[in-house]
Amino acid sequence: AQTVTQSQPEMSVQEAETVTLSCTYDTSESDYYLFWYKQPPSRQMILVIRQEAYKQQNATENRFSVNFQKAAKSFSLKISDSQLGDAAMYFCAYTVGGNTPLVFGKGTRLSVIA
Amino acid sequence: GAVVSQHPSRVICKSGTSVKIECRSLDFQATTMFWYRQFPKQSLMLMATSNEGSKATYEQGVEKDKFLINHASLTLSTLTVTSAHPEDSSFYICSASVDRRNQPQHFGDGTRLSIL
């Protein structure tokens, strides 16, 4: 079974600094999709960034980028120029796509210090 | 972008009441919808996978008679918590997907259920 592991229950970062959230996963599939979701106190699930396993290039969305290491099954999220609004729970998730469910990690709570 | 509407956002009701939660895809047809449950300070746990026109597939440990799922159309899935008790209090969230590998799931805003 696929599993997703987030080893950092909590992280903090100073405003304007950079922080990296870790995620590892286990799968026997060669083609799959990885995601980072942000869940603020409102509990909405907001898609931050996604990566397709067959793409070697790391995904980037403005201040958010990933370091995807397929062989190591690692998928970390880097947030640059951290802002107060980045404070939230961040979940790493995996799926083989289409009509298959997401498998979530346990989450990392990110605090941003002014 | 794709929008999923989940209703109601908050429910408070007495023990023994049945509660229905709706999940609608507003601008796309969702071949599959998923129902997740989230306890405070925990991750999302998959309860069931719902495909239009067929019976839902429940995860191990989820009581299908307690959590009734209906996916009658390509835009609507419902979750009914039957005879709810305080231990059913939780945050329930749905997501919808189209049957294309490279398309992400789209989440509703969730329903906070409190059983007194």
For the stretch B28-56, pLDDT in tens is 888 899 999 999 989 999 999 998 888 89
Distance from CA of A83 to the nearest CA of B (A): 22
Rounded Cα distance between B81 and B59, Å, is 16
Q: Do B31 and A95 touch (CB under 8 A)?
A: no
pLDDT at A1: 74
> What digits encode the pLDDT tens for the residues A1-26?
789 999 999 999 999 999 999 999 99
DSSP assignment string, B41-76: TS-EEEEEEEETTSPPEEPTT--TTTEEEEEEETTE
Confirm if A47 and A113 have CB atoms less than 8 A apart: no
Q: Give the torsion sign (CA, B61, A23, A45, A28).
A: negative
What are the chain A neighbours of B109 within 8 Å (beta carbons)?
42-44
Pick the residue with more confidence: B31 or A91? Answer: A91
Instruction: Name which of A6, A45, A89 to mutate to probe chain B: the one with the most chain B Cβ atoms within 10 A of its Cβ.
Output: A45
Task: Give the Cα separation of B99 and B101 in Å (integer).
Answer: 7
On average, the pLDDT of chain B sits at 92
Looking at residue A42, its pLDDT comes to 92
**Quick check: A43 and B93 CB within 8 A?**
yes
Find, among A78, A72, A75, A106, the residue nearest to A91 by Cα.
A106
Distance CA(B87)–CA(B115), nearest Å, equals: 8
pLDDT digits (tens, 9 = 90+) for A21-35: 999 999 999 899 999
Residue A26 near residue A105 (C-beta atoms within 8 A): no
User: Cβ–Cβ of A102/B105 closer than 8 Å?
Assistant: yes
| B104 → closest Cβ in A42, A50, A104 | A50
How far apart (Å, rounded) are the C-alpha atoms in residues B27 and B69?
22
Integer angstrom CA distances of residue A70 from A11, A23, A25, A53, A92: 24, 12, 10, 7, 15
CB-based burial label for A86 (10 Å; 0-12, 13-18, 19+): buried
Q: Which of B46, B98, B109 sits opposite A44 (nearest CB)?
A: B109
Of B101, B102, B107, the CB nearest to A45: B107
Name the DSSP class of A71: T
Cα(A36)–Cα(A107) distance, rounded to whole angstroms?
A: 10
Whether the Cβ atoms of residue A113 and residue A100 lie closer than 8 Å to each other: no
Q: Confidence band (pLDDT; 50, 70, 90) for B104? A: confident
Is the pLDDT assigned to residue B99 strictly greater than 70?
A: no
